[in-house]
Structure 1
Amino acid sequence: MPTEEDYREELSYLVDYARDDWLGFSVITGAVGKLLGKGHTFEEQKRLTLRIVGDLLDTGAAAGDLTDDPDHPFKAWAVGRAATLSRVESAMEGLGRLPESGDIGWLTTDA
């Protein structure tokens, strides 16, 4: 398991990323792999992914979908933190693997 310092450093990177661009799940999945290394179960990977997403939401990020509307390119999910985490978890279970960008949704602090 990652140290708290390693986790905080990676989370800080992801928070900055979400401020600058749409944060897709490929980037989050990469952070999970970096923090856990090889040989961890899908359950362990999923648990860390949900922790990261929850912490991103706590820092002000919103989860949602990209749209074709140039004036409103992001539509936040109109649900709270718990429902967002449940939606992500259900989607991950449906995939049976860690998600890639576009599989579930995106995160941003510029919603």
Structure 2
Amino acid sequence: MKNTSRIALAAAVALSAIAAQAGQDFTADHYPPQVQSQSTLTRAEVIHELKLAQEQGTLPNYDFTYVSPRQEQASTVTRAQVRAETLAAMQNGGLSFGS
């Protein structure tokens, strides 16, 4: 009796999973569904609008900072100074790995 109810329950779960997928085409060319759209702007126009929005500060904030490579400044610290700072931090326990 227990086996019969378990088999019936498993069959019901399997059929409900199949029914949940009914009507959806998951073949290789149809997933994920593609939204058809046509842009009216050229690539140059989009780049121009992006640069203009960056200059005006009107880009939406998605909680991350966009840093343009042209805005970065060259380091004034030499490789030897960085190495010395790293070694000093290692000796003082100032480096944290994975925690």
TM-score by length of 2: 0.22
* Structure richer in helix, relative to its length: 1
TM-score by length of 1: 0.20
Q: Which structure is richer in relative contact order (CA contacts within 8 A, separation 6 or more)?
A: 1
Larger Cα-atom Rg = 2
